[in-house]
Structure 1
Amino acid sequence: MVNRGSLMMVSIIMTRLIPYKEALECMVGEYEVDGQCCPICHAGYRVHETCTIMTGTTCVPCDPGTYTAHQSGLKECLQCKVCDPEFGLVTRRECSSTSNTVCDCSPGYFCTNMKSDDCELCMRHRVCTAGQYMKSGGTQRSNTICEKCQAGTFSPNGTLGHCLPWTNCTAQGLFEKKPGTDTTDALCSPERKTQLTSIVIPIIVVIILIFITFIIWVVFVKRKKNRERAYDMKGRAEALHPEKRHDSLETDGSGTNLPVQETRQQEESAPLRERMSKSQDSGEP
């Protein structure tokens, strides 16, 4: 005969299982598995063996490189994330048994897909080109902002924080051989200054020559006038005092020509000499 107590126990168990299966609602801290509620494992653990009617859930720690961030009934821990440098990612916080790896962007990259505190996708910062300047540098959360150089300024590359002004050649006394662009500076040259010097120097030389010529002419004219004045005064002196004459006269047959001024003075003084000679011959006082 079947034990009456045993039948009663089986009946009680079946009575409990039937309503459990029809409307299974596990309490907080439990999870449903195979039509029954079992205790869950804490964060950092996973289910090794599910519970039975007679035993509870068996939990074990997550293996290295895996984790569970919350209480769960997972039989396998989650795989830790790897921050791949090829995609501009760098590890900011290592994975633990209770938390996943946290990634951030490498230098020169910024995050384009941020979830909570973790970056999932990075992109390289924009590079400003020649003729542009960096209005603001890139960060881990924002891209670089480039602006075009304004007129009168230039940027030879995109690394400058501001564009450089063109060189003012005129202010330096130079000639602007080539105007500046947004990528190159103005090119200065002393060419115009050299051309000006090549023009000014000959002019100065000509002026000096004219001045020297004028001085020579003035000296020549002055000497000529002095010479004529001296001849005139000498002729007058000879007319009044013929005995004091020391200048050479025309000699008989010598062919020596006297100056025109002296000849004229002699002709003017001839009548006076003749009168004086006649007076001496007649014995007049």
Structure 2
Amino acid sequence: MVVNRLRLTIFSIITTQLMPFKEALECMVGEYKVDGQCCPTCHPGYRVHETCSLMTGTTCVPCDPGTYTAHQSGLKDCLQCKVCDPAFGLVTRRECSPISNTVCGCSPGYFCTNMKDDDCEMCVAHRVCTPGQYVKSRGTERNNTICEKCQAGTFSPNGTLGQCLPWTNCTAQGLFEEKPGTDTMDTLCSMQGNPPLGFIGTPIIIIIIIIIVTFVITVISIIMIFVRRKKNRERG
């Protein structure tokens, strides 16, 4: 009984004395600290299956599909591969491998709002320029579209043009300006000045009447010719 107590006391003293050395232990490159000892790390693409002992080294096993380790480590579990979620405008640029994570990029028409190295965390749809604007700079995977307003004397009907179009100069073409241009619509020109509202359709109506009268006269003339010929035959 006394011997056992003595052994326990000696073990406690030794453990207490060694504790500072255990805490101050620093491992070399290629090792990791576990349970007060330094064990060899596992290579990229592997994880720790069993830690080392005084008699054996670290036992490493390959990462399961869908997981990875990019560096030498003492991880017992490989890291989960990232999924590029289409709901955030993401597409897969590079598939995950045992030694590298998935790399995501943006779908066409989207740009990245949170880029880390070459990997994108979230994408947003490019700005759409509206009528009256032109596309100063088209969007890329890293930058949004830049829109600018049309300057006076120019217009953009749909907002997709690389530059606004100048208004048509009606006078220079020998035409009359029927309606001035806006930032979304060109100047409207006509062959003649605007007539009074009550006479806008008069020329067309007159032309139609002339055509109808001419047609009626022609038909009547043809009928009369046939009638005369018929009477002449009967007399003869």
TM, length-normalised to structure 1? 0.60
Q: Which runs of 4+ in 1 moved over 3 A?
A: 17-20
Separation (CA, whole Å) in 2 of partners of 1:51 and 1:97: 23
Q: Tell me, what secondary structure is at the counterpart of 1:191? A: coil
Partner of 1:281: none
Contact 1:111–1:121 (Cα < 8 Å) also in 2? yes
Partner of 1:229: none
How far the C-alpha of 1:85 sits from its partner, in A, is 1.4
Alignment of 1:139-154 (within 5 A): 139-154=140-155
Counterpart amino acid of residue 18 in structure 2: I
CA, structure 1 residues 22+150, in 2 after alignment: closer, same or farther (shift >3 Å)? closer
How far the C-alpha of 1:129 sits from its partner, in A, is 0.6
How far the C-alpha of 1:191 sits from its partner, in A, is 3.4
Partner of 2:82: 81
Separation (CA, whole Å) in 2 of partners of 1:59 and 1:193: 90
Which string of whole-angstrom CA distances, capped at 9 and with x for unpartnered residues, describes residues 211-238 of structure 1?
xxxxxxxxxxxxxxxxxxxxxxxxxxxx
Partner of 2:129: 128
Separation (CA, whole Å) in 1 of partners of 2:122 and 2:80: 19
Partner of 2:18: 18
Separation (CA, whole Å) in 1 of partners of 2:162 and 2:23: 72
Partner of 2:210: none
- The reply to whether residue 178 of structure 1 matches residue 179 of structure 2 is yes
Q: Tell me, what secondary structure is at the counterpart of 1:146? A: strand
Alignment of 1:23-102 (within 5 A): 23-102=24-103
Which string of whole-angstrom CA distances, capped at 9 and with x for unpartnered residues, describes residues 144-173 of structure 1?
111111111110111011111112222232
How far the C-alpha of 1:18 sits from its partner, in A, is 3.3
Contact 2:178–2:193 (Cα < 8 Å) also in 1? no
Alignment of 1:186-205 (within 5 A): 186-192=187-193
Q: Tell me, what secondary structure is at the counterpart of 1:18? A: helix
TM, length-normalised to structure 2? 0.71
Partner of 1:218: none
Q: Tell me, what secondary structure is at the counterpart of 1:192? A: coil
How far the C-alpha of 1:23 sits from its partner, in A, is 2.8
How far the C-alpha of 1:54 sits from its partner, in A, is 2.1
Contact 1:91–1:103 (Cα < 8 Å) also in 2? yes
Counterpart amino acid of residue 110 in structure 1: F
Which string of whole-angstrom CA distances, capped at 9 and with x for unpartnered residues, describes residues 170-211 of structure 1?
22322211101000111122232889xxxxxxxxxxxxxxxx
Structure 1: runs of 5 or more not aligned? 1-10, 196-285
Q: Which of the two has higher C-alpha Rg?
A: 1
Separation (CA, whole Å) in 1 of partners of 2:165 and 2:50: 72
Counterpart amino acid of residue 173 in structure 2: Q
Separation (CA, whole Å) in 2 of partners of 1:130 and 1:58: 66
Counterpart amino acid of residue 114 in structure 2: N
How far the C-alpha of 1:45 sits from its partner, in A, is 0.2
Separation (CA, whole Å) in 2 of partners of 1:169 and 1:30: 83
Contact 1:174–1:193 (Cα < 8 Å) also in 2? no
Counterpart amino acid of residue 157 in structure 1: N
Counterpart amino acid of residue 18 in structure 1: L
Q: Tell me, what secondary structure is at the counterpart of 1:103? A: strand
How far the C-alpha of 1:61 sits from its partner, in A, is 0.5
Separation (CA, whole Å) in 2 of partners of 1:55 and 1:34: 15
Counterpart amino acid of residue 100 in structure 1: N
Counting aligned pairs with the same residue, the percent is 81
How far the C-alpha of 1:131 sits from its partner, in A, is 0.3
Separation (CA, whole Å) in 2 of partners of 1:163 and 1:23: 71
Structure 2: runs of 5 or more not aligned? 1-10, 197-236
Partner of 2:161: 160
Q: Tell me, what secondary structure is at the counterpart of 1:86? A: helix
Q: Tell me, what secondary structure is at the counterpart of 2:98? A: coil
